[in-house]
Amino acid sequence: MLQFFSKYKFFAVVLLVLSAIIISIIYSILNPVKTLPIFQPAQVNVEMVDSTIQHVKKYHTVADFSLLNQNGKTITQADYKNKIYVADFFFTTCQTICPIMTGHMAEIQEKLKNDTNVLLLSHTVMPEIDSVAQLKKYALEKGVDDSKWNLVTGDKKQIYTLARKSYLAAKDNPYDQYDLIHTENFVLVDTKKRIRGFYDGTDPVAIEQLLEDIATLKQED
């Protein structure tokens, strides 16, 4: 009997290894690793995308920018290099959706306060009102962590171009060609400046999904 097992030991080991490989393959097929989509302008509601880029189907990234934060510091893409971040658009005197959105941003800040790989970025759509001083006042009221979350102001045209052509997160105002309607969208951006998700910034369920997707994206990056 011992001679029999000794004779076929090699084949038994090979069979065991093959079985493990086959089981592993079957498991990976039945339980695929979750990945997030990479959003292109052509995939997004046309109302949210500038007409000049609605045809774009690949290679879309967030454009470079230069804006001032609540401390008067110039913020550019360099401050978000190799970081995952969540972007949105708001204004400090908004009394409708903005307070809810800001509250949810603060919640994300709290839950990810020790994660240096994830940052937040909120752009005012009313820079003529939201000066650096006004943003600082608002930041103090809302508990903004300066190392985690930038509230930015600056050139109105640049901000609106970012909203429409980069983040795909705002509608044109049909009554004023130089204005737009900011939305409740939170936009998830990866370390390569690509858009990976849109979330209703007023919906607690959507915020939970956003946090889950950030965790997924960290595994990918």
More confident residue, 2 or 142: 142
Residue 20 sits in the same domain as residue 47: no
Q: Give pLDDT, residue 90.
A: 95
According to DSSP H, which parts of the chain are helical? 2-7, 9-30, 98-111, 132-142, 156-161, 204-220
> What value does the mean pLDDT of the chain take?
87
DSSP, residue by residue, 145-178: -TTTEEEEB--HHHHHHIIIIIS--EEE-TT-TT
Residue 7 sits in the same domain as residue 54: no
Residue 103 sits in the same domain as residue 181: yes
Closest CA to 170 of 161, 183, 157: 183
Closest CA to 91 of 144, 53, 131: 131
Q: Give pLDDT, residue 2.
A: 47
pLDDT tens digits along 161-217 = 999 999 999 876 654 555 667 789 999 999 999 999 999 999 999 999 999 999 999
Q: Give pLDDT, residue 28.
A: 44
More confident residue, 32 or 127: 127
- Angle made by CA atoms 119, 123, 127, in degrees to the nearest 5: 150
Q: Cite the annotated binding site by residue number.
A: 94, 98, 182
Whether the per-residue pLDDT at 30 is higher than 60: the answer is no
Q: Cite the annotated binding site for Cu cation by residue number.
A: 94, 98, 182
Contact 180, 165 (CB under 8 A): no
Give the C-alpha separation, 12 to 109, whole Å: 54
Q: Considering its fold, how many domains does the chain have in total? A: 2
Whether the per-residue pLDDT at 92 is higher than 60: the answer is yes
Structure tokens at 145: 């962590």
Residue 121 sits in the same domain as residue 168: yes
pTM (2 decimals)?
Answer: 0.83
Residue 167 sits in the same domain as residue 65: yes
Q: Domain residues for 134?
A: 41-220
CATH code for position 75: 3.40.30.10
Q: Give pLDDT, residue 36.
A: 97
Contact 84, 117 (CB under 8 A): yes
Give the C-alpha separation, 199 to 149, whole Å: 18
SS3 at position 218 = helix
Residues 6+ apart with CB under 8 A from 163: 89, 123, 125, 169, 170, 180, 182
Residue 25 sits in the same domain as residue 45: no
Residues 6+ apart with CB under 8 A from 213: 36, 188, 196, 197
More confident residue, 27 or 187: 187
Residue 129 sits in the same domain as residue 201: yes
Residue 17 sits in the same domain as residue 113: no
Q: Give pLDDT, residue 106.
A: 98
Residue 7 sits in the same domain as residue 94: no
